[in-house]
Structure 1
């Protein structure tokens, strides 16, 4: 009986600790969907944690379908491996969540999330939806001069 009570108290303590941690902001960040940098940071955090569930709502429908296929296939599936390609995992881990931008290509926001060994820039491209919220529509590599030539403000 005493062992059962002790185990129950430990579970309760763990649950209270987890709730306290979540209340204090210790869990994953909730992005500000009106800010492309916030959405990108949430993506990088989820990517580095290999958390497909957290990545899912940050993307447009085309990317949602690819992420859903990776979720269905599971770790080791071709769909999962396509998302978490070793070079990309290494690049984003090396940058440790650092993002730069946004720059703008017409109305799309382009946020830098890493630079590879050749100096090329890896970016996340976001578009606004009807509710004026940003979603990731593409991932792209471009040269550093191409990235730097993008506009600092979106076209109106």
Structure 2
């Protein structure tokens, strides 16, 4: 019996400049099969969603990261912050109606990260763990923000 194993398709993660919303600073990642399919307008719409979210990131001195994940013709927008030192908090938005909206997730057992997003999340967890071992002053915060992932996932 000849069984052929095919590999699961890869996507590419790329980073942009730090995105600031008030006091909160985020690393920004784009994720797609073809990064060129993420338009400047889509990024602007995603940023406006975060700036106007109910989370009030403007008032919280957080660090974190964002993944703008192109899934076919739609997007998932994962907004993650580090809180209570070692906890990753997340808000999820999608653009199902042509604009980004909060993804209401009220079930007990819900999806978290897909196989592609986990490559970025793993990198970020290692970068955050390294940050926790520092003095956590501004220079260390900037080193965390500068430690970026890019490549195939």
Fold shared per TM-score above 0.5? no
Q: Higher Cα Rg: structure 1 or 2? A: 1
Q: TM-score, normalised by structure 2?
A: 0.32
Higher strand share: 2
Q: TM-score, normalised by structure 1?
A: 0.31
Higher helix share: 1
